[in-house]
A and B are shown apart, each in its own frame.
Chain A
Amino acid sequence: MSIGYFGLSGERKSHYARFIRQFRRNQKAMIGLGIVVSLFVIAIVTYFIPDIVPYDPTATNVQNREVGPSLEHPMGTDNIGRDIFSRVVLGTQISLYVGFTSISAAMVMGTTIGIVAGYYQGMIDESLMRAMDAMMSFPPILLALTIVAVMEPNLNNVIIALALVYTPFIARVARSAAISVRNESYIEAAIARGESDRYIIFREVLPNCVGPLLVQGSINIAFTMLLEASLSFLGLGVQPPDPSWGLMINSGWSYMGDAPWMVFFPALAIAIAVIGFNLLGDGLRDVLDPKGEIIE
């Protein structure tokens, strides 16, 4: 509406400038961002230029199986001779894709539910929150397992399951942010101006809830990586031959005695990704939400 009228002036940017300045100063955030960006770069580059990866991740070479880390195979080969390094690198794509898509979906659903509940309160709030509580009564992995088993285990269904599982967590955060914003006087001022509920929710409440939501989103992406790994390990997540890190651990588990690198490197990849997103989330929290309304 009228926002565009004034254009992007120097003063308008002051919010973002302040945010970026504080973000830069925060070590955790910068390291986390560094890791996350690197992962993205790897994923995107290998997606568009698949040949950059030294070996075809699905190419088997039974002669060469269970070879330890060497110059040719920096992470060794697996039990049917596939190069682990290439598979780990490609696994990045899958992990990021799963993480981002599922959490984006969870954010959309969770934010809607949470903000509506927090803004209207009363019966709407009660019923929505009871439903969210009920969903959170199941340990995430159990819920995800059941959902994936109900539909067929494949990549897209894993994403759907994860999105459903994490929606309540986002909803809680959105709700508590909405409640604290709702108590601010500018909301009352908007009502006194005669604004419609829709306007207030979208233009007054939502923009002020972004902080805690971003933090929770980042932390939740880390969760999805853990969860996806667990699902794939059980054979109920990403299916072969897609190289998910969890799946690699699944196949490598029985060979741990002879070829521990089959488990070690994918595990390392998981650890790095999870740490990266957690650091980013923590750093964002320091900058955006020092009060701490986030659930771990």
Chain B
Amino acid sequence: MSTNESEPLLSVESLRTQFRTENGTVTAVDDVSFTLKSGEVMGIVGESGAGKSVTAKSIMRLIQSPGEIVSGSVMFGGRDLTELSDAEMREVRGNQITLIPQDPMTSLNPVLTVGEQIVETIECHQDVNRKEARKIAIEAMKEVEIPAPESRIDEYPHEFSGGMRQRILIAIGLACEPELIIADEPTTALDVTTQAKILELLNDLRKDHGVSILMITHNLGVVAQTCDRVGVMYAGNLIETGSVSAIFNRPRHPYTRALIDAIPEVGSDHDRLYALEGSMPDLKNLPDGCNFADRCPHAVEACQTGGDPPLESPEDAPEERLAACIRKTELDLSTPTIPESTKRQKKEPIEETLLEVSGLKKHFSSGNGLFGNLSVTRTDGGLSLERRYVKAVDGVDFTINRGETVGLVGESGCGKSTVARTVLQLLEPTAGEVYFDGHPLHSLDDNEIRSLRQEMQIVFQDPKSSLNPRKTVGQIIGRGMEKHDIATGQEKRKRIEELLERVGLQSTDLEKYPHQFSGGQQQRIAIASALAVEPKLIVCDEPVSALDVSVQAQILNLLDDIQAEFGLSYLFISHNISVVQHICDRVAVMYLGEIVEFGTVNQVFDPPYHPYTESLLSSVPHADPNRRSNRILLDGTVPSPLNPPNGCSFHTRCPKKIGEQCEKQVPGAEQVGSNKTHQIACHLSEAEMSEPVDHQEKGT
């Protein structure tokens, strides 16, 4: 172990990792070099397929056939990790370098207790007996702020929430006091508020222990808020490195600039997003010259030839600042790129109501099958059998006008997806009324609803799953036209071709199958398919959540354009506040099946009133290192919808809870001030809501 401050802790040099597939060799990590100093937090950022995860796994030598590390070295503690034997490497793993994996739901073995999984790491690497190992494990659990660790250590993973499980993974990572922690997308699978808590935790741990962290993520906001230095990866290459502030203030590589531009920032103007065309090249078929040249707005002829540009320091920058671009010195990328079309056309809001939802409820019976929702519980009189219901949506009111975009934002489990499906009558409402264009959907029979279906369509989160793999694109888009007698034969074919071009694909694509397209292209097909029947309303259920940031920007712009052209209304569902803020006109914030606040985007977010909205907003990691997030952390976790709290459903976690009133009385939706459109469900007065929360209070 090196105690010399200037000697890097980890030094990766010219690492190359390849995978043999039946269609050729894929170079997932191509000649990557970087260093990490002791106590430093470095982020490796990039979109999916860029090679960041593979880099992390290569460092830990977790790559298995058909992949292998072909060349390069990984210097750690004076040794080259690529040259160690299996047994020697096993001593390093979990001990000096630990991994915090991406998905807390699947990374813990469900049949072993949490304690067993922490203890086995300790016993494996340290010379202690079972009892001592257990003590160390409990200490580790205390460090990551898991309550009552002495008793919870014998529980199984499924008895913990997602955020708790992530903490357990971190505890395992810390147990042997490593020098380096590699965190592979540690917060991607978590909600924004939980993410905030985990990031705080990581920050504290790093301060207390002085451990170095290599943070793999696709989220620039996370990087801006937690890392000291960052490396950007694209198509297997490391294309830029430098300190976080340097990179954000003046990126040297056009891709980095584009990445920063593509993120909708909370609080910025509703400008059109700058979106790169196309997508990352196929790793089996990389171009000559710079891999980014095809998409680069600053590319010149020399970029197309001559192999990958070397990662070097621009002439007017310090040594640690590196970029792989032949134009790095001449380009000044310190200001955001202005997209070609000017500011998004502000459409004239039409005051005509298209959709009106009131008192909507949807309760599911928990469990499956005949006896599914029965459960045996202990009561005072012995055992009893009762039916349990999941109250996914419990009384929701909102409206959507023609040509407007209304957003439904909230964390997972709040019921927003259920609202979408119930409104469209894909699920039968338990109670409540839905009026679409004057028609009372809740009281129509199946046939009548079917004929109205043409007017309301839906775009889903997973583009791959929304297209029937056995149909061609033409068949998928054309089916709706036939079904609703819009067009047949030649006319239909013409319309399909037009639609394809409208969404940014080619008219010849109609003969291809979905699997031949990328995720972003598949989503375009799904949008075209929704447009084909000429609807008035499109429900967008997390339409960009499964896509990379640069592709996300393309799709959001597309949705914008289509709305302007066809006068559509959108019900836009998302957990991503920045996206919602960018694209929506009005927004509703949901928590545990209820709407806690509803109004225009400015009214709700700027400034936030409801305590939950406030907390939600503060948890978003800004992709701007100069704006430090002032996170309001919430106590505990979201209660189960099987058993929502009495009174205000948020009272168990509310930092501004008044007292008994919140526990007993359900707050109704009340107007704020003179604005008819802004409604909040909270017992606090307007003045009380505006008071800042004491940020010293930390959540669990």
Residues of A in contact with B (beta carbons under 8 Å apart) = 1-3, 5-6, 9, 11-12, 14-15, 25, 123, 126, 184-186, 188-189, 191-196, 204, 207-208
Take A192-B453, A194-B450, A194-B484 as given contacts and tell me if A185 and B512 are in contact as well, using a CB distance cutoff of 8 Å.
no
Chain B nearest Cβ from A128, distance in angstroms = 13
Query: By the criterion CB–CB under 8 Å, are A189 and B529 in contact?
Result: yes
Q: Is the CB of B673 closer than 8 A to any CB of chain A?
A: no
Query: By the criterion CB–CB under 8 Å, are B454 and A185 in contact?
Result: no
Chain A nearest Cβ from B243, distance in angstroms = 43
Q: Is the CB of B460 closer than 8 A to any CB of chain A?
A: yes
CA–CA, A284 and B494, complex, Å: 39
CA–CA, A188 and B462, complex, Å: 12
Query: By the criterion CB–CB under 8 Å, are A2 and B475 in contact?
Result: yes
Query: By the criterion CB–CB under 8 Å, are B482 and A1 in contact?
Result: yes
Query: By the criterion CB–CB under 8 Å, are A186 and B468 in contact?
Result: yes
Contacts of A6 in B (CB 8 A): 472, 474, 511
Query: By the criterion CB–CB under 8 Å, are A186 and B465 in contact?
Result: yes
Q: Is the CB of B467 closer than 8 A to any CB of chain A?
A: yes
Query: By the criterion CB–CB under 8 Å, are A192 and B458 in contact?
Result: yes
Of the residues A9, A126, A185, contact of B465 by C-beta under 8 Å: A185
Which residues of B441-477 have CB atoms within 8 Å of chain A's CB atoms? 449-451, 453-454, 456-458, 460-462, 465-470, 472, 474-475
Q: Is the CB of B533 closer than 8 A to any CB of chain A?
A: yes
Q: Is the CB of B435 closer than 8 A to any CB of chain A?
A: no
Take A1-B482, A192-B424, A208-B469 as given contacts and tell me if A14 and B516 are in contact as well, using a CB distance cutoff of 8 Å.
yes
Contacts of B424 in A (CB 8 A): 192
Chain B nearest Cβ from A125, distance in angstroms = 8
CA–CA, A1 and B457, complex, Å: 23
Contacts of B369 in A (CB 8 A): 126
Contacts of B489 in A (CB 8 A): 5
Q: Is the CB of B90 closer than 8 A to any CB of chain A?
A: no
CA–CA, A194 and B484, complex, Å: 9
CA–CA, A29 and B494, complex, Å: 43
Q: Is the interface of A mostly helix, strand, loop or mixed?
A: helix
Chain B nearest Cβ from A21, distance in angstroms = 10
Q: List 16 A-B contacts (CB under 8 A).
A: A2-B479, A2-B492, A6-B472, A9-B511, A11-B472, A11-B512, A12-B511, A186-B467, A189-B460, A191-B426, A192-B424, A192-B453, A193-B453, A193-B533, A196-B450, A208-B470
Take A11-B472, A186-B468 as given contacts and tell me if A194 and B462 are in contact as well, using a CB distance cutoff of 8 Å.
no
Query: By the criterion CB–CB under 8 Å, are A2 and B478 in contact?
Result: yes
Contacts of A11 in B (CB 8 A): 472, 511-513
Query: By the criterion CB–CB under 8 Å, are A192 and B465 in contact?
Result: no
Chain B nearest Cβ from A185, distance in angstroms = 4
Chain A nearest Cβ from B490, distance in angstroms = 10
Of the residues B462, B474, B479, contact of A193 by C-beta under 8 Å: B479
CA–CA, A123 and B456, complex, Å: 30
Query: By the criterion CB–CB under 8 Å, are B483 and A185 in contact?
Result: no
Take A11-B472, A12-B472 as given contacts and tell me if A188 and B458 are in contact as well, using a CB distance cutoff of 8 Å.
yes
B interface size (C-beta, 8 A): 42
CA–CA, A189 and B492, complex, Å: 20
Query: By the criterion CB–CB under 8 Å, are B529 and A194 in contact?
Result: no
Take A1-B482, A194-B483, A194-B484 as given contacts and tell me if A188 and B426 are in contact as well, using a CB distance cutoff of 8 Å.
yes
Contacts of B461 in A (CB 8 A): 185
Query: By the criterion CB–CB under 8 Å, are A194 and B470 in contact?
Result: no
CA–CA, A2 and B486, complex, Å: 14
Closest to A181 in B: B468
Which of A15, A184, A192: most chain B Cβ within 10 A? A192
Residues of B in contact with A (beta carbons under 8 Å apart) = 22, 369-370, 421, 424, 426, 449-451, 453-454, 456-458, 460-462, 465-470, 472, 474-475, 478-480, 482-484, 488-489, 492, 511-513, 516, 526, 529, 533
Closest to B535 in A: A192
Closest to B541 in A: A185
Chain A nearest Cβ from B20, distance in angstroms = 15
CA–CA, A268 and B474, complex, Å: 51
Which of A191, A193, A208: most chain B Cβ within 10 A? A193
Query: By the criterion CB–CB under 8 Å, are A14 and B513 in contact?
Result: yes
11 extra interchain contacts, Cβ-Cβ under 8 A, other than A11-B511, A186-B466, A188-B460?
A1-B482, A2-B492, A3-B475, A12-B472, A184-B466, A188-B458, A189-B458, A189-B460, A192-B453, A193-B457, A195-B483
Closest to A126 in B: B370
CA–CA, A195 and B489, complex, Å: 20
CA–CA, A9 and B479, complex, Å: 19
Query: By the criterion CB–CB under 8 Å, are B453 and A194 in contact?
Result: yes
Chain A nearest Cβ from B23, distance in angstroms = 11
CA–CA, A195 and B449, complex, Å: 11
Closest to A204 in B: B468
Chain B nearest Cβ from A205, distance in angstroms = 10
* Top-4 shortest CB links A-B: A194-B453, A185-B466, A11-B511, A185-B460
Query: By the criterion CB–CB under 8 Å, are B480 and A193 in contact?
Result: yes
Contacts of A15 in B (CB 8 A): 470, 513
Chain B nearest Cβ from A115, distance in angstroms = 15
CA–CA, A5 and B472, complex, Å: 13
Contacts of B22 in A (CB 8 A): 25
Query: By the criterion CB–CB under 8 Å, are B454 and A194 in contact?
Result: yes
Contacts of B451 in A (CB 8 A): 194
CA–CA, A269 and B449, complex, Å: 60
Closest to B450 in A: A194
Closest to A127 in B: B370
Contacts of B456 in A (CB 8 A): 192
Closest to B478 in A: A2
Chain B nearest Cβ from A96, distance in angstroms = 30
Contacts of B421 in A (CB 8 A): 188
CA–CA, A2 and B493, complex, Å: 11
CA–CA, A208 and B468, complex, Å: 8
Closest to A130 in B: B370
Contacts of A193 in B (CB 8 A): 453-454, 457, 479-480, 483-484, 533
Contacts of B468 in A (CB 8 A): 186, 204, 207-208
CA–CA, A123 and B371, complex, Å: 11
CA–CA, A1 and B478, complex, Å: 12
Contacts of B511 in A (CB 8 A): 6, 9, 11-12
Chain A nearest Cβ from B524, distance in angstroms = 15
Closest to A9 in B: B511
Closest to A184 in B: B465
Closest to A196 in B: B450
CA–CA, A191 and B533, complex, Å: 14
Chain B nearest Cβ from A66, distance in angstroms = 55
Chain A nearest Cβ from B474, distance in angstroms = 7
Contacts of B460 in A (CB 8 A): 185, 188-189
CA–CA, A191 and B483, complex, Å: 12
Contacts of B465 in A (CB 8 A): 184-186
Contacts of B516 in A (CB 8 A): 14
CA–CA, A9 and B458, complex, Å: 30
Query: By the criterion CB–CB under 8 Å, are B482 and A189 in contact?
Result: no
Contacts of B472 in A (CB 8 A): 6, 11-12
Contacts of A196 in B (CB 8 A): 450
CA–CA, A9 and B473, complex, Å: 13
CA–CA, A196 and B489, complex, Å: 22
CA–CA, A184 and B474, complex, Å: 20
Contacts of A195 in B (CB 8 A): 483
CA–CA, A126 and B369, complex, Å: 7
Closest to A25 in B: B22
Take A192-B458, A195-B483 as given contacts and tell me if A207 and B470 are in contact as well, using a CB distance cutoff of 8 Å.
yes
CA–CA, A231 and B512, complex, Å: 50
Contacts of A25 in B (CB 8 A): 22
Contacts of B526 in A (CB 8 A): 189
Take A11-B472, A11-B513 as given contacts and tell me if A2 and B458 are in contact as well, using a CB distance cutoff of 8 Å.
no
